[in-house]
Every structure is written in structure tokens, then in C-alpha cells.
A and B are shown apart, each in its own frame.
Chain A
Amino acid sequence: MTAQATRSKTRPAGTWTSTGDRRPPATGKVLTYAVLIALSIVVLAPVVWTVLSSFKTQAELAQRPPTILPDSFGLTNYTEAMQTFRFATYLKNSVVVTVGATVLTLMINTTAAYGLAKYNFRGRNFLFLVTLGTIMIPLQIILIPVYQVASDLHLVNSLWGLIIPPAATPTGVFLLRQYMLGIPDDLIEAARIDGAGEFRIFLRIIVPLCGAPIAVLTIFSVIWRWNDFLWPLIISQSQDKYTLPVALAQFDSQLVVPFNYILAMSVVSMLPVIIIFLVLQRHIVRGIASTGLK
């Protein structure tokens, strides 16, 4: 990818932040920066453009050619859009569902991954195949049969219905299992010889070693549940159970909704995940980088 190599013999010890240890040559370095900066602009431009435009009035949005900066950074779009619905309720529901589902996901995915990675039992490969298989099934396809199950279990129109069914993520099991395969069996064996019980081994030895993939799964679970749309739309039937994306869609559905409001609400829906990502970012990069996907 980089230009012609000049050979550098010195190689500083790699830390997690410097997994790579190739020192690029000067011209290559310039090129690398140029490409990375250009790509960053492509990635950031639409998001920045959205944020800037979310402060514009309808007339400003229709203007040709559009101005870059809004006339003012007043929060009118935001306040008016939020007044249109019971924002606090939806925000609370979204938070409850996101946190609840993420906690549950972490609990059942880690145990399942451990069972699949570190035990030899009848049906294990079959269960692993099922796990892989379920990655392939989008909800849209099986919406009504799933809904019927949820309904038979009285999960409809309750936040539990948003927390339990999506909690068993196949991707999570898959990632964690791959990581756990890399943990030496000797560690477990030694603990067994010391007389530790199976669950204790899992809790005291395995989980602390899995910090990285757990961080990854946390952020993904947060992203998935926060942005979930179709399932909450079907399950949350009364307004006091709506999550943010469902409320947004309701807003979008009214025949005459000014686009400036939609932009403002889109920005609002982005903020929490971006904040969580920035807080967890260090762990995530490290986490993905060591999830054992190798």
C-alpha cells in the first residue's frame, strides 16, 4: 500500500496502541496521511453537514445554492421538534431497553460462548452451527412468526419484549467463543485441581480475561438496541412504551413534517451512541483488536 520501502531496523516494542510496527518511509508517510485525511473528510462531511443543517430554517434548507453555516445556531428546531412529543418518556424507554438488553446479552452470551469454547459435549457442534445459522436470518423475514411467539409469551407492549428476544445475539456468542478458544486450557485445569467449581472458574478466571471482547460486545449491543426500529415498532404499541426511533418514525409519518425537524431529531438520536463510543473508545479499539478473530 505504501510506496517503496526503505528498511528500518529499529522496531519499538508494540503496545496495544501500536500494533503495527512498520515505520513508513517519508514519502509513503505523506501519502498515507493524504489518503487518511481525504477518507476522513468523506466519512465526516455528511455527518457535519447534517449537524449544521439541523439548525437551519425550512427556507434556508430550500435555498439554492445552500449556505454552509446556518443563519443562527438557535435551538428552535430542537425545542419545537421535542415539544411535539413526549420526549422524556421515549428517552427513558430507550435507555431502559438499551441498558437492560445489553446486561442480559452480556450474561447469556458469555456463558454460552464459554460452554461452546471450553467444553466437549454432545451436540456442541450442532449448537454452534445453529448459532452461525441464526446470524443469517433477518428479522424482517420472520416478523410475524416471531411476533406470534412474543404474543403467546405476553411480551407484547412491555419493555421486556424489547429486552429479552433480541438479547441472545449470535454475533456476540461467536465473537466471545473465538476469543475464549485462545485462553489456555491449563488455566482452567489448574483451577479444577485447586477444587474450584465450574461456575466459579467461569466467573473468576474466564470473565476477567475477556474484558476486551466484552467491551466490544457492549458497544455493539448498545448500538443495536439504541437504533432498533422494526421490532420496537411492532412490540411497543402504546405511546408510553415507545422508544426513540419509533417516536421519530411517528414524527416522520405525519404528512407535513418539515425536514428541518427531522434533521434535528436525527442529530438527537445520534448523540448518545457517539458519546458512549467516545467514552468507551479506547476499550473498543483494543477490544476488537484482540477479539481473537485470527
Chain B
Amino acid sequence: MTLFARRERRSPTANGRGAPRRRTVPRNQRLAPYLFVLPNMLIFAVFIVYPTINNFNISAYDSNNGRTFRYVGGRNYSELVDNAEFWAAARATALFAVCFVVLVTAASIGLAMLLDQRIRGRGLFRAVFFLPVLLSPVVVGLIWGWIFDRNNGLANTVLRGVGLGEPGWLINDKLAMTVVIFVALWTHVGFYTMIILAGLQGIDPTYHEAAMIDGASSWQRFRSVTLPLLRPTTMVVVILSMIAGFQAFDFIWTLTGGGPVGATTLMVQYIYQHAFESPIRYGLASAGSVVLFCTIFGLTALNFLYNHRKAAA
């Protein structure tokens, strides 16, 4: 993936001669880009950037209704640091995000490799794996919660049938987290598989031919040709899935409600509950979301830096 394309350093005419930029670009070409980006950026600014900055501001206040505010400075943050539930949510979020990113990346590469072969019904398989992406997260959580019900759920009906007992999927904290990760994979793997497939398509077949002439096995070719050339695509998957992982909320809300005993309560739910459930601590919730935002931002930046360095080396 080209993030900050090199050629952009030159003029838009891109003839690469290093002509002095300002003089060669006509006025309408200098104005045009601003007009092109204006409508979209205006909506960004009004509905995302401004409220987010306002949110930083709110995190310095205390409020029990989200409307009347009392200035408290940094006290919301120090309260967060002392709050055990906050750390529990942070740990759960980290665990969930790491597992989700690793598994979804591995699974989508694996699935894409399978689907990238010349097989019958490939289009059908792709459509099937994409199906969960289409469903509303609320409905996804609802369905899986019902399937994993210990007594009447489909999962345990099947397990009982083959004599494997009836695990309490949603009442044991480790199993519940496993279920949450599984459902997240089930929902998203189709989407990331499509991205990886696109990346595989972009790999020049001559590399594979050369490797084959050298007598490389298919595993060796996967390791030393496919994976390195797939790196930029993989990075997109890692970044997108990481952001999705840190934001997970709605399907978990209908699946486990964050339980049992907070085992699957992730950061967004923690924030949501403090903002909207009794006792309402709106400023505290804002402080939580500032922390979450900075975490995601920091990790994404690290990811970019690491990959740029790696690409440059």
C-alpha cells in the first residue's frame, strides 16, 4: 500500500523533471483540489473532528447528565487510573484486540490462499464467507447468544448429541471471551479475506515462476515469495482489524452484555455505560474515550512507522 506516494512530492503533472512547482501549475489546478475535498472534509470537520475535540474538553468536567458541567481538571483521569473496572476493561480490550488481529489476519490469509486456487464454485464460496459481513451486529450477537445458550442452545444440543457434555459457554469467563472472539472472527473474516485476495492478485506471477524454476516447494514459495510481497496488504488488514478490535461493542452487547461478571466488557462498553447508565459520569466516560482514542492513534502510528522503516530497509 502506498500511503504517501513518492511521486506526489513532485508537481501534479508528474513529469519527474523537477520543474519549479509553483510556476508550472495553473491557478485552476491549484484551486481545484480544495473544491474537490471540500464537501467531504466539511462533514468530517463538523460531525467528527469538532465533536472529538469537544470531547477532550468535556473530559475535564464532571456531569451527571451530559448537559450541566462542573470543571474538575484532571480528576477524571486520576479516577480512571484508580478504577479497577477500568483496568479490567482495558485488559479485556487488549486481550480481545490482540487475539482478534492475529487470528483474523492469519485466517484471512489462509482462506484467501484456498480461494485463490482454481477450484470449482469459487464465487459461491466467496459469497458464503462474505455473508456475515452483511448482517447487523445487533442481530449477530442475538443469534449467537441464543445458539450458545447452555441449556437450549444449538451448540450444546450438538455437543450433547456426541457426548461432549454441555459447557457453560456464556457463563464461564474464559469461554465467554473465546465465544466473543470467535463471533468476531465469524463476522469479519470474509471482509479481510477479500482484501488479501486483492493483494494476492497484485503479485506478479513471474516471481512464483522464478521460485518454481529454483525448485522451491509450495510452502517455501508461500514463505519467501507470497508473504513478503503481501506485506503491504497484510498491513492494511492489521490496521483495519486493530481499529475494529478496539471499537468492538454492539454485537458483544447483545451476545454477552459484557458478562459474565464483566469478563467481556470492553472499553467502548465501559465508556458507554458511564455515559448512559446510572450513576451517569459523563466526564469520566469522555476521559475514557480520550484514552481509547490516544491508544488507537498511537498504535496505528507505530504500525506505520514500523512498516515504513521496514519498507525502506
- A contacts, CB < 8 Å to B: 1-2, 4-5, 7, 11-12, 14, 17-24, 29, 32-33, 35-36, 39-40, 42-47, 49-50, 61-62, 64-66, 107-109, 111-112, 114-116, 118-121, 124-125, 127-128, 130-138, 140-146, 148-150, 153, 164-165, 167-168, 170, 173, 178, 181, 185, 188-189, 192, 197-199, 202, 223, 226-227, 229-230, 245, 248-249, 259, 262, 266, 269-270, 273-274, 277-278, 281-282, 284-285, 288-294
Contacts and interface: CB of A to CB of B under 8 A. Distances in A.
Nearest to A273: B134
B152 interface: yes
Contacts of A46: 143-144, 147, 154, 186
A100 B63 CA distance: 36
A173 B47 CA distance: 16
A114 B134 contact: no
B43 A134 contact: no
A108 B48 CA distance: 16
Interface string B219-240: 0011000000000110010001
Contact of B136 (A22, A119, A229, A282): A229
Contacts of A17: 122-123
Contacts of A173: 40
Interface in B107-154: 110-111, 113-119, 122-123, 125-139, 142-144, 146-147, 151-152, 154
A289 B194 contact: yes
Interface residues of B, number: 113
23 contacts: A18-B118, A20-B200, A22-B218, A29-B117, A32-B119, A43-B131, A49-B147, A62-B152, A65-B160, A111-B37, A115-B37, A131-B44, A132-B300, A134-B48, A135-B243, A140-B271, A142-B289, A145-B55, A185-B7, A189-B15, A285-B194, A291-B195, A294-B201
Interface of B: 1-2, 4-5, 7-15, 21, 28-30, 32-37, 39-41, 43-44, 46-52, 54-55, 58, 66, 110-111, 113-119, 122-123, 125-139, 142-144, 146-147, 151-152, 154, 157, 160-161, 186, 190, 194-195, 197-202, 205, 208, 212, 217-218, 221-222, 232-233, 236, 240, 243, 246-247, 249-250, 268, 271-272, 275, 282, 289, 292-293, 296-297, 300
Contacts of B66: 144
Nearest to A265: B139
B111 A138 contact: no
A112 B197 contact: no
A270 B221 CA distance: 41
A229 B292 CA distance: 22
